[in-house]
Amino acid sequence: MGKRKIIHCDCDCFYAAVEVRDNPLLRGRPLAVGGSPNSRGVIATCSYEARAFGIHSAMSSARAAQLCPDLVFIKPDIAKYQVVSKGIHEVFKQYTDLIEPLSLDEAYLDVTDSPFFAGSATLIAEDIRAKVSQQLGITISAGVAPNKFLAKVASDWNKPDGLFVIRPEDVASFVVALDVSKINGVGKVTKAKLNQMGIETCGDLQNVGEAELIQSFGQYGTRLFSVAQGKDDRPVQTSRVRKSISVEHTFSEDLKDIVSIIDRLPVLIDELRARCERKLGQDRVIAKRFVKVKFFDFTQTTLEHKIETAHEEWDSNDIYRTLLEAAWAREGKPVRLLGVGVRLSVRENVAGRQLSLL
């Protein structure tokens, strides 16, 4: 565990930070990057000044405007953020080739064999943060640790614009007091279940056997057992395998009935078909179709259908329509968002399993 040196870099309020950099008059003001509060807008990210009002990402823009009437809304400029992200990664590449991007503003770096600063991951992280600030005008928080799990926890420890280091010899004492909510994948439901079992911290989790955790949480129990002890053997992956392709539409007005829902389906499938043609890799095949329905109250449901034969048309309007009808019938409420997509699997070395896109 102590042989690896992992840095997790996470930009602070990335979209908002870029907008403030480009317009200093916004500095110090509550700012949200996202859709309009007068439509079905959703917050992508917000400044720390906005967070003080209880605003957060994925919140509806209308609700955010209620919480903070002086909130400044800015429409996302993804092309601009991509340029900044590319500049950040150019800085990363000065120290290592082992970079695992998680999003435009977040990445793991393995600097175990980096020759810079006599191999000090801490000094490398400090230098990265300084260069990004000087060259790109935004701040990065970083975590340094012997593995990915702890590095990600550490990067959030001293936000914003902070650095936190967990040395190998400090792992055991650090994780004992770590709240289970810090474990990736432990959301509200899992945390509540753990708390009901009397488990508040990783130290508590260490006292539970792996078999019991598997019985309660399935295979995820194995990961809980491992990370509770500060262990995480996952390597930094320089390439990520695409597992699905999808498109979603959020509507300015709720779709009240199944007829209006089905009317939107052809456009969604056309967009999905075009996206698959652009993004489907040579070693990936379409294994399942799925639909997503988000209702007016933000509850949602998904439904999928396995493709059985190589000759079956994956983009069949009829099957997607059947899936949508069944998914909507689960709640029968007005709909704010529809999504359609496909699940991917690795291509087998059998001609009959190589599904055509057309």
> Binding site for Mg(2+): residue ranges?
10, 105
- Please provide the DSSP assignment of 98-148 as one string: -EEEEETTEEEEE-TT--GGGG-HHHHHHHHHHHHHHHHS--EEEEEESSH
Q: Rounded to an integer, what distance in angstroms lies between the CA atom of residue 134 and that of residue 188?
A: 38
- Neighbouring CB atoms inside 10 A of 263's CB total 11
Single out the catalytic residue among 106, 277, 308, 312.
106
Per-residue b/e over 114-125, b at no fewer than 16 CB within 10 Å?
beeeeeebbebb
Binding residues: 10, 105
Tokens standing for residue 29:
């003001």
Is 308 a residue of the active site? no
- In the chain, alpha helices (H): 14-22, 48-51, 61-67, 78-92, 121-136, 148-155, 171-176, 188-196, 202-206, 210-217, 220-227, 258-263, 265-279, 317-329
Residues with active-site annotation: 106
